[in-house]
Amino acid sequence: MRELLLGIDIGTSSCKITVFDREGNDLASKTGLYDVFYPHPGWAEQRPEDWWQAVCSSIKSIFAKTHIHPEEIKGVGIDGQSWSAIAIDKDGKVLFPTPIWMDTRAEDICTELNRRIGEDRIFELAGNPLKPSYTTPKVLWYEREYPEEYKKIDKILQSNGYIAYKLTGAVTQDVCMGYGWHCFDMKNGTWDTGMAKELGIPVSFLPDIVNCDTIVGRVTEQASEESGLAVGTPVVAGGLDAACGTLGAGVIDDGDTQEQGGQAGGMSICTDSYHAGPKLILSFHVVPDRWLLQGGTTGGGGVMRWFEKEFAGEERMKEADGEAPSLVQLNDIAEKVAPGCDGLVFLPYMSGERTPIWDTKAKGVFYGVDFSKTKGHFVRACMEGVAYALRHNLEVAEKAGARSDVLRAVGGSANSKLWTQIKSDVTGREIVVPASDTATTLGAAMLAGKAIGMYESYSEAVKLAVKDTRKHTPEGGTKEAYDKAYETYLSIYEDLKDLMHKN
């Protein structure tokens, strides 16, 4: 019987389930869709129960449609989107829809806490600024808006922790996802109960902290019936999707860097010492004794999905008639436009912006529109705008003491050779592309493999399972155009910031 690993990725728009062998070969994958709800301006929430249903149906589909058997799965790893606030009662019932990472409803709570406790004190402990996207203010928002239901809360879980709970019944908090809390000591990986009390967070809400490769439990009979996994299959805690994608890209040593091309954009720089920057995001890596200094932007691959949905009707019709997929057609017309996009510059602040400007009021902007601009210009401007956001974060990280020379690109955006080359040219970095579509679930599966002894070390896991597919180096002749456009990019936000805050 084969010995296989299963990775579960709880993304923003879908979950992905992938089965791997020891060498990292993708034997089967399935995606399950669910909705994001936007009931009010600044709100973005999901139902964790939808995640679980999508996970179960996807796993069962793999077993039904392949020759993979449940007994062959020797370990399960889970990664998930950041900064959830999943409130469960003593029976495990979810009490509220969870605000997700792009939700900014609790901005006023952050303002009050930063004033009362002090931004510097909070940052010194947590290594992260107190912003509405994080878990902390969302929980306090529950208390203010739903005081009676709030009294029923037993624990607050993260996205991967919720799936681990559904699979095993174990209530845990992995060390990597601790960065969503501002009562989490980022230097030592422990709860600070004193700060929890100052923030107004009941200590009882905080699950025990475990390492990401800890086996937290085994698949229960009920979870087996719902998911199709074999009873007793080991499940590890897992961690942040970006961190698992970083591991799945082969980033485990100081200075190694992952470039994120999923729904959100950004980067994760691996460090073996503490480097915090108030304009960036700091978490523990899923690999022990490592941190990740991260840039997280709202405009990543989701920008192109938005553009395709709203403006690619013609391309979808052609796709239905047998031509290339609509996104490939958009890529082709963008490739015909010169670097710098003939002066068209895009700010990809599609749901406010996170790092490094931390502005919930920031707006997406196209600047430089005139009669000469074509659809191809707008597509390329979207790609270049995301690349400028990446460059901005890398520059801020370097000032915080974390320099990277080579980026390892993952996520759907990395499938576009044009977009990856644009990022290489804009940042001046070499970009290596491993198996981009499976890096995140691979990282989650590698955690399970290390936990059950399939890999002796993470170095061995990376050597066996991570495979590079291509490499991009900065092309000569583009630097001047991109440097000029990047300066325009920075200026547009500064010049329009006050106007953005009025509307």
Model confidence pLDDT, tens digit, residues 93-109: 999 999 999 999 999 99
Look up residue 272 and give its two tokens: 């073996």
pLDDT of residue 261 exceeding 90: no
User: Between vectors from CA 157 to CA 156 and to CA 160, what angle results, nearest 5°?
Assistant: 175
Q: Please report, rounded to a whole number, the percentage of residues in the chain having pLDDT higher than 70.
A: 100
pLDDT (0 to 100) of residue 412: 87
Least confident residue range of 71-75, 220-224, 409-413: 409-413
pLDDT of residue 503 exceeding 90: no
State the amino acid at position 234 in one-letter form. P
Helices (H), 9-98: 48-65
State the amino acid at position 178 in one-letter form. G
pLDDT (0 to 100) of residue 436: 63
The gap from C-alpha 359 to its chain's centroid, in whole angstroms, comes to: 18
List pLDDT tens digits, range 337-358: 999 999 999 999 998 999 999 9
pLDDT band of residue 443 (cuts 50, 70, 90) is: very high
The gap from C-alpha 68 to its chain's centroid, in whole angstroms, comes to: 29
- Spatial distance between the Cα atoms of 155 and 153, rounded to a whole number of angstroms: 6
- Spatial distance between the Cα atoms of 173 and 160, rounded to a whole number of angstroms: 9
Mean pLDDT over 180-199 rounds to 98
Its pTM stands at 0.91
pLDDT band of residue 159 (cuts 50, 70, 90) is: very high
Look up residue 271 and give its two tokens: 């460090």
According to CATH, the topology of domain 301-433+471-502 is Nucleotidyltransferase; domain 5 (3.30.420)
Contacts of 63 (CB under 8 A, 6+ apart): 69, 70, 228
CB atoms within 10 A of CB 137: 27
Mean pLDDT over 307-336 rounds to 97
Is residue 378 within 8 Å of 307, Cβ to Cβ? yes
User: Between vectors from CA 167 to CA 5 and to CA 80, what angle results, nearest 5°?
Assistant: 70
- Spatial distance between the Cα atoms of 225 and 115, rounded to a whole number of angstroms: 50
List pLDDT tens digits, range 3-12: 999 999 999 9
pLDDT band of residue 170 (cuts 50, 70, 90) is: very high
Mean pLDDT over 230-236 rounds to 98
* Residues pairing with 215 in the sheet: 236
Strands 291-297, 406-410: parallel, antiparallel or unpaired by DSSP?
unpaired
- Spatial distance between the Cα atoms of 109 and 360, rounded to a whole number of angstroms: 14
